[in-house]
Structure 1
């Protein structure tokens, strides 16, 4: 497919020609990096400096880019991931070589799983040390690119200064082509520090490739949905990433189809809508309902482990799957696979379907939700449901929340009302610990006008304590709720269930309130009764704050069979 680029290039003015012939002195390869990022529209970069990358960081001084420096590269990656999710724009991540670059790998795995457009730019040993052998340079790897190639969408090595603008533009285009994802560039130290007489990089062109649905497939899908007796929709993260929630709602209403959102698709469909089956994916009542659909439309989801109720879901009707990642088409279930961006394909479907009325659809949805509610209520887990309700009442509707891999987050995936699309995020894409707080920092850097919530357990919190210094340094409006149960709570449950006892799950931990205050971050120890008030007070206060909730929470029993 041809790129949607402009055929005509603007003529340079005499002033622009003069500027090109007389570039300002004192520029180096690092300047070409930041000039290219600015020319592509970047405003904020994340990262952590290192010896080989100093040319890039020095060039930041001569640019208008805002810099947010975190204390651990993996946390910088999580912050960039959240910035990319919240804004839909590329989030540049500046890294060093070897240990610094490798420390970001888990964050880049999450960005890949969640389709976040992170543009990682790493340094490399000097060009003299590249290729075969060991040259003894600090941070040297035999093949640094190989460590990233399995994780990111695309890898872009640079070996000379003149390659920098084109490599960054190609990576930018890759990051923003559906499905969004992380990309990786590496530039040797000497290329970053060598003086350059190349003209200043101004306007760059990196238009993402558009991914249109094949019209004959849309025609078949529209026919199936228009003539279905019991259509249903599963909406995944692709609906959120492509900003397609409005199209999804219009389509669901036009054909009277109930909608379940996956954990990655939280907020893609209004929670209180009469057609909303919400997000109870680990529930047999929901699975049975979806299996009974004669036509099931799956949008922006690969129906992976969590979205398929641990691969117990076995649809009996026709499946139509819209997915931007070609590798996920029919990966888990036979389907009419449509390789397309969710927003684009939903727009096409909306025009092509014939309206169908189903007065009983809302009643069937309500009946399923009643059965789910009764099942959960019978498990004696009022505390967990109370805590979610307290958080929901205190959190402003448009404020984003970021959830670590912790028991309360597992509850929130199913039971929390994300009242707007693109406001609830977690690390459920790849399931790594430590996401919540650094991700919230990235979201706050994207928009300082509203408070941001991070939720962690005490185990996950210890991954990112260092970032209290970052939140304080940049005075970011992040409230960090730490649920302290003295260990890795979800692993404690898993091990007890599987083996009857636990190993390695019980943790010594600090006084989180005193620790936060030592960073100059106000903190409070709360209780289930005072949580809503303490959170509201934190949200109303400028800058960062910590709320510690000592509580031993339990997971609801999922039903797979």
Structure 2
């Protein structure tokens, strides 16, 4: 392995550090990165567009918890994957993009794939973007990226390597160090004493759980974390909300759980009635709340590992630097049992019923279809959804057996996410059911990746919800008193399109037929496009 081209050495280094799959597209500028792929024992997934490669790597990372890695070329290849990089940044996904770059762009102009500032362009949509100017620098940057994805907030990184460096001889990278496990960030003992005292005094305590707290919903080899959470909630008598990304942390049938309904207007009044709110692992962003603020009137404790979150200027906020598990373990030890609080199961049930009715009125006919789809799927199904009204309605009410089962482009809000991300998820979890849910418009952003699912014979139901228009945009225009414009498009025959790609297809006319088609698709080798005509199914 001594003194081989650096491009080959990088693949061997990644393999030695636990990477098994690369998503990407080869080109003349990055072909040296492909020299060592097979020799290193890596699996390469050939996307049909770099945007698809990025979303596949994102879906793989969300399903497995391991970094998704993509190889792309200089210039347009990197530009095409920047949308997935932005999505991964907003949703805290560990995505490592390795690209080639030109050695010089200042003195030499007019080169193939030339950009004025490729490193800077990528830096705008990821955690950091760096250029490796020596083989050792490339190795250090890769170790730094993978290490930070393990011990810190998981966000995308970009490393670019000049083409002559990839082609040049380089020594073997140093041996992989012992794998770094997560380093729990322990809360200061005084903060636990303070939080326990506040909880003991509170008449209506409330927890809000975000994506940074999903580990609380998973059992581990030692103490069961769901049992830890259940004990703390029992001891405090607290009610709960989750963000969309935090769904499944609290069991959906918990009597004091309001669900993933922070976006409901009435949730602000509920939160204002709490005299203590503890927000755990959440940025409380616009896409969590869809209003300017949480709505709290009492004290707010923010438990997080991100200094940016903890330093936000929010009224009555007090920051607690800790990860969710360490905070709850310490809190559990400090809390005595207490009598019931001012929350009642009937109050929570009434609100949830009212909010479901609101959702049904806002997007008529979708919830019965979502309920039928949910009943047809195993509890452990991983779902990847696109920016579509079907997902907007369903993700507020869909019961989750555990966290990390429904993945959506929450923050950046990219169309075309669902299909390639589901492909990546299925590659990462081949023995687990995976489903893609896309709208008729968004599906066409990345429909060419259907060929990847066919090529790999992935058992993958692909739900295409067709309302024949950009329904959410039309509704927004109407609310803004704008005459709807450019929201109606002509669609292809999706069933024939699927067949042209070599996929199976179905176009159910009733909810019962849809359920049967979904079950058949899960059992079939190869993908199945299930076309749902919104007009037909919402009236069936």
Same fold (TM over 0.5): yes
1:240 aligned to 214, 232, 235, which one? 214
Deviations 1:368-421 (A, max 9, x none): 2233345456x3866211111011011111010011010011102211112221
Using the alignment, how far apart are the partners of 1:327 and 1:147 within structure 2?
Answer: 23
After TM superposition, list the pairs within 5 Å mapping 1:182-193 onto structure 2: 182-193=156-167
Deviations 1:220-252 (A, max 9, x none): 222212321111111111112676662444422
Deviation at residue 24 of structure 1 after TM alignment: 5.9
Deviation at residue 177 of structure 1 after TM alignment: 2.9
- Structure 1 residue runs without a partner (length 5+): 1-22, 556-561
Using the alignment, how far apart are the partners of 2:313 and 2:449 within structure 1?
Answer: 39
Asked if 1:261 corresponds to 2:242, the answer is yes
Deviations 1:304-330 (A, max 9, x none): 113234225320111111122221225
Deviations 1:312-351 (A, max 9, x none): 5320111111122221225362311123322232322222
Deviations 1:17-37 (A, max 9, x none): xxxxxx467x31012211221
Q: Which moved more, 1:92-101 or 1:148-157?
A: 148-157
Maintained 8 Å contact 2:380/2:433: no
Maintained 8 Å contact 1:32/1:164: no
Deviations 1:471-527 (A, max 9, x none): 111112221100111122211211122234212211122111111111110011123
Asked if 1:471 corresponds to 2:448, the answer is no
Give aligned pairs, total.
Answer: 527
Partner of 1:550: 533
Deviation at residue 184 of structure 1 after TM alignment: 1.1
Deviation at residue 434 of structure 1 after TM alignment: 0.8
State the superposition RMSD in angstroms.
2.3
2:91 aligned to 114, 122, 127, which one? 114
Maintained 8 Å contact 2:67/2:149: yes
Q: Given the superposition, is the C-alpha separation of residues 552 and 297 from structure 1 closer, same or farther in structure 2, using an over 3 Å criterion?
A: farther
After TM superposition, list the pairs within 5 Å mapping 1:74-473 onto structure 2: 74-125=51-102, 127=103, 129-130=104-105, 132-196=106-170, 198-199=171-172, 201-204=174-177, 207=180, 210-240=184-214, 246=226, 247-311=228-292, 313-329=294-310, 331=312, 333-334=314-315, 335-358=317-340, 360-376=343-359, 379=361, 383-473=365-455
Using the alignment, how far apart are the partners of 1:77 and 1:409 within structure 2?
Answer: 21
Using the alignment, how far apart are the partners of 2:523 and 2:209 within structure 1?
Answer: 33
Using the alignment, how far apart are the partners of 1:173 and 1:205 within structure 2?
Answer: 11
Maintained 8 Å contact 2:437/2:465: yes
Using the alignment, how far apart are the partners of 1:332 and 1:265 within structure 2?
Answer: 23
- TM-score, normalised to structure 1, is 0.89
Deviation at residue 217 of structure 1 after TM alignment: 2.4
1:50 aligned to 23, 27, 31, which one? 27
1:535 aligned to 489, 513, 518, which one? 518
Using the alignment, how far apart are the partners of 1:170 and 1:145 within structure 2?
Answer: 17
Deviation at residue 205 of structure 1 after TM alignment: 5.2
Maintained 8 Å contact 1:170/1:206: no
Maintained 8 Å contact 1:404/1:460: yes
Deviation at residue 51 of structure 1 after TM alignment: 2.0
Maintained 8 Å contact 1:408/1:553: no
Using the alignment, how far apart are the partners of 1:544 and 1:158 within structure 2?
Answer: 40
Deviation at residue 206 of structure 1 after TM alignment: 6.3
Maintained 8 Å contact 2:457/2:526: yes
1:510 aligned to 492, 500, 518, which one? 492
Q: Given the superposition, is the C-alpha separation of residues 376 and 428 from structure 1 closer, same or farther in structure 2, using an over 3 Å criterion?
A: closer
